[in-house]
A and B are shown apart, each in its own frame.
Chain A
Amino acid sequence: QKEVEQDPGPLSVPEGAIVSLNCTYSNSAFQYFMWYRQYSRKGPELLMYTYSSGNKEDGRFTAQVDKSSKYISLFIRDSQPSDSATYLCAPIKAAGNKLTFGGGTRVLVKP
């Protein structure tokens, strides 16, 4: 079993819909929970992160972490075609050096 699991999708939504993405993980030592966005044939770019449990909002994006259930979520409000990409969750230990990526969820926002 992989340390970090994501549904690969694809997840297809109409423009303006809310996109809901999630990850589960198994390592209790993870403290920071990153979400990366990756466009086709590009490197991942950091969208946002949360520390420990809780919510964090950044514009149209909201990240949630529930450490008790080892469950991570990302919500995208008012989705745009430019949000079409693969979204990768990547937890990391405090002071760690190795990002442990999920397999990514491919999102397609249709105009």
Chain B
Amino acid sequence: DTGVSQNPRHKITKRGQNVTFRCDPISEHNRLYWYRQTLGQGPEFLTYFQNEAQLEKSRLLSDRFSAERPKGSFSTLEIQRTEQGDSAMYLCASSEGWLSGRLNEQFFGPGTRLTVL
């Protein structure tokens, strides 16, 4: 399978614990995105990387959230001191980036569903 993969698929944690999610993008894609989706809502942009550089962060990404893409390949999203409001689906997407005349299509992974008790 050459699509975007995310691990774990499900995570249940207690309030106050730290959690880390991993995303492996499509191999030739230099852009990687994180979105958050709560029940009954559309995904909301959190942050994106071009190669290893984090170029944009949403105001939704509080100080408790940190994302890395150390070698420009896989990425991790860490949430410290989790709160019940962090319960959501965390989606990763990747793309080639904008090329002349071609759409920057973002391909999504299956997501990591986080439940904070």
Centre residue among B41, B48, B55, B109 by max chain A CB count within 10 A = B41
Q: Which residue of B42, B55, B103, B109 is within 8 Å of A88 (Cβ)?
A: B42
**Judging by beta carbons under 8 Å apart, are B108 and A101 in contact?**
no
A-B interface, 4 closest residue pairs, ranked by CB to CB distance from nearest: A101-B42, A43-B108, A98-B45, A95-B98
Q: How far is the CA of A92 from the CA of B4 in the complex (A)?
A: 21
Residues of B within 8 A of A41 (CB): 110-111, 113
**Judging by beta carbons under 8 Å apart, are B108 and A44 in contact?**
yes
Query: How many A-B Cβ pairs are below 8 Å?
Result: 58
Give per-residue flags for B56-89: 1 if the beta carbon is below 8 A from chain A beta carbons, else 0: 1010000000000000000000000000000000
Interface residues of B (CB under 8 A from A): 4, 31, 33, 35, 40-45, 48, 55-56, 58, 91, 93, 98, 103-111, 113
**Number of interface residues, chain A, beta carbon within 8 A:** 26
Interface residue? A60 (CB, 8 A): no
Q: How far is the CA of A101 from the CA of B45 in the complex (A)?
A: 9
**Judging by beta carbons under 8 Å apart, are A42 and B42 in contact?**
no
Q: How far is the CA of A96 from the CA of B33 in the complex (A)?
A: 12
Give per-residue flags for A86-111: 1 if the beta carbon is below 8 A from chain B beta carbons, else 0: 00101010011111111110000000
Q: Which residue of A95, A99, A100 is within 8 Å of B106 (Cβ)?
A: A99
Nearest neighbor of B108 in chain A, beta-carbon distance: A43
**Judging by beta carbons under 8 Å apart, are B41 and A104 in contact?**
yes
Q: How far is the CA of A46 from the CA of B31 in the complex (A)?
A: 17
Interface residue? A30 (CB, 8 A): no
